[in-house]
Amino acid sequence: MDKQIKVKNIPTEVKIQKPENASLDDRFNPRNRIYVRAVKGLHQLLRQRIGFVGMLAFMLLPWINFHGQQAVLFDLVGQKFNIFGLTLWPQDLTILAFILMLAAFALFLVTTFYGRVWCGYTCPQTVWTFIFIWFEEKFEGSANQRKKLDQRPMDFDKFWRKTAKHTSWWLFSLYTAFTFVGYFTPIRQLLPDLFTLDATAYSYICLAVFAVCTYGNAGWMREIMCLHICPYSRFQSAMFDKDTFTVSYDEARGESRGPRSRKQDPKELGLGDCIDCNLCVQVCPTGIDIRNGLQYECINCGACIDACDGVMDKMNYPRGLISYTTERNLETPDNKTHALRPKLIGYLVILVILTGALITNIAMRKPMDFDIIRDRNQLYRVDFNGLVENTYTLKVINKAQYDQTFNISVEGLDNFEYIGKQSFTVSSGKSYNVPLSLVVDPYDLKKPMTKFEFILSVDGQPDVQISQSSNFFKGQ
């Protein structure tokens, strides 16, 4: 009890480390834009291939026909989505919900295992940004040449290069916007309608807005979208753990940094493998220095890995100073990454359940649907013979992508007379209103309200049927 506890004063001042080559304020200054340097390597080749396939799929899907109709069409006016023979109506909201949840948890799974590879390899913002940078390189040259071109006064050479670049940007933006609108309006009809001015005002407005957004996002905003607008970078840390593969700098191997010749031994100089060339910063599309540790701005594109590996090859050092690795491996290189861990297993289980639920919903989905609309002005009517008549309208929807003939039957009513069509044909993807009346002798009804069912079946396929309950009123 006589021992005294030593008290140590801990300073409350927090020291913020800034990259030596750039100010944090530069990110908000449009005049200090990032000039991304081109780099070659395995990861950039993979990113280009994946991005090209994704862009090609986006551009070509609206032009593909399936069963005589546009394969992918989100018809907002007709309130239906066509996806390769599967037509989703507002009544199929559960299927759409399962698809969206499946995509979300698949993204969570990939992010937990391999970080933000979606952002670096497949995100449209990244893909289109690199396409626009490719146009820049073709007309204005390398990163250093582009920077010098922007700094010098306007002359004819600068004018034609800038004009050619922005013209190519606008043309690509317009075609991107046209393709996007083609997902919501039949694209084969949209093309001639735009030139003959027969397209709807909605189409022209969407085309203009999306073209401006594409031009602005991929041409000017670029990394600003990733740093300050996209919410994904903000909540990614909730999915990361010590076994998540991220682009990381091996500080133990790289420090202390410093330039040296290829012939000098870094150990004799007291240096690590990093020669402080800053190439990893110059090739980064968001302008960060990966050597400062994991940052939310990193999109895991691997550009800094390819740049650093190239330098390591020239210096005859082993590759991997910057690599896809885990926090656990950086702390203790001998530790093995836990590939199967509770979080990943949980995501996998959820994905399996969602996939099963989606397949079950699609398999059990009927190729038709109908709604019962009662006459709200008059629940029932008594005719001159004393018989009770109830009037209904059945709105029948053909969900299939081919014409179908349907039959209507009634169960739960005795000795009724059916007035109206019982067999009719509905065109593909269309709805058809069937007005009908049911007439019953009131002495055959035991209650003021009798519950019964309308049954809708496909002609020639009695097993393919759906039913809905309704009420028959006779009054007191």
Choose the most confident range, by mean pLDDT, from 64-73, 213-222, 228-237: 213-222
Distance from C-alpha of 458 to C-alpha of 369, rounded to nearest angstrom: 11
Can you tell me which residue has the tokens 């209507």?
408
Considering the domain architecture, whether residues 175 and 288 belong to the same structural domain is answered as yes
User: What total of structural domains would you count in the chain?
Assistant: 2
The residue-averaged pLDDT of 324-343 equals 81
Q: What is the pLDDT of residue 363?
A: 87
Residue 22 reports pLDDT greater than 70: no
The residue-averaged pLDDT of 405-418 equals 92
Considering the domain architecture, whether residues 63 and 83 belong to the same structural domain is answered as yes
Considering the domain architecture, whether residues 415 and 343 belong to the same structural domain is answered as no
Distance from C-alpha of 112 to C-alpha of 182, rounded to nearest angstrom: 34
Binning pLDDT at 50, 70 and 90, where does residue 2 land?
A: low
pTM metric for this prediction: 0.81
| Under 8 Å between Cβ of 80 and 87 | yes
Considering the domain architecture, whether residues 320 and 390 belong to the same structural domain is answered as no
The residue-averaged pLDDT of 432-447 equals 91
Q: What is the DSSP string of 180-242?
A: HHTTTTTHHHHHHHHHTT-S-HHHHHHHHHHHHHHHHIIIIITHHIIIII-SHHHHGGGT--T
Q: What is the pLDDT of residue 28?
A: 43
Percent of the chain with pLDDT over 90: 62
Percent of the chain with pLDDT over 70: 92
Q: What is the pLDDT of residue 18?
A: 43
Distance from C-alpha of 395 to C-alpha of 456, rounded to nearest angstrom: 11
Q: What is the pLDDT of residue 32?
A: 66
Residue 192 main-chain phi, psi, to 5 deg: -70, -30
Supply the range of the domain harboring residue 416: 368-473
Considering the domain architecture, whether residues 98 and 120 belong to the same structural domain is answered as yes
Considering the domain architecture, whether residues 265 and 392 belong to the same structural domain is answered as no
Can you tell me which residue has the tokens 């609206």?
62
Considering the domain architecture, whether residues 267 and 399 belong to the same structural domain is answered as no
Last residue of a domain, one of 317, 337, 365: 365
Model confidence pLDDT, tens digit, residues 89-109:
887 888 989 999 999 999 999
Q: Map residue 412 onto helix, strand or coil.
A: coil
Considering the domain architecture, whether residues 216 and 359 belong to the same structural domain is answered as yes
Nearest CA among 298, 321, 300 for reference residue 309: 321
Model confidence pLDDT, tens digit, residues 29-55:
444 689 999 999 999 999 999 999 999
Last residue of a domain, one of 325, 345, 365: 365
Any idea what the CATH number is for the domain that residue 403 is in? 2.60.40.10
Binning pLDDT at 50, 70 and 90, where does residue 311 land?
A: very high
Last residue of a domain, one of 321, 348, 365: 365
Considering the domain architecture, whether residues 38 and 182 belong to the same structural domain is answered as yes
Considering the domain architecture, whether residues 93 and 232 belong to the same structural domain is answered as yes
Considering the domain architecture, whether residues 76 and 49 belong to the same structural domain is answered as yes
Model confidence pLDDT, tens digit, residues 343-367:
899 999 999 999 999 999 988 888 8
- Return the bridge partners of 373, or none: 393
Considering the domain architecture, whether residues 232 and 357 belong to the same structural domain is answered as yes
Task: Between 136 and 26, name the one with better pLDDT.
Answer: 136
410, two tokens: 């009634």
Residue 74 reports pLDDT greater than 60: yes
Can you tell me which residue has the tokens 């996939």?
355
Binning pLDDT at 50, 70 and 90, where does residue 10 land?
A: very low
- Return the bridge partners of 417, or none: 439
Distance from C-alpha of 274 to C-alpha of 318, rounded to nearest angstrom: 11
Q: Map residue 249 onto helix, strand or coil.
A: strand
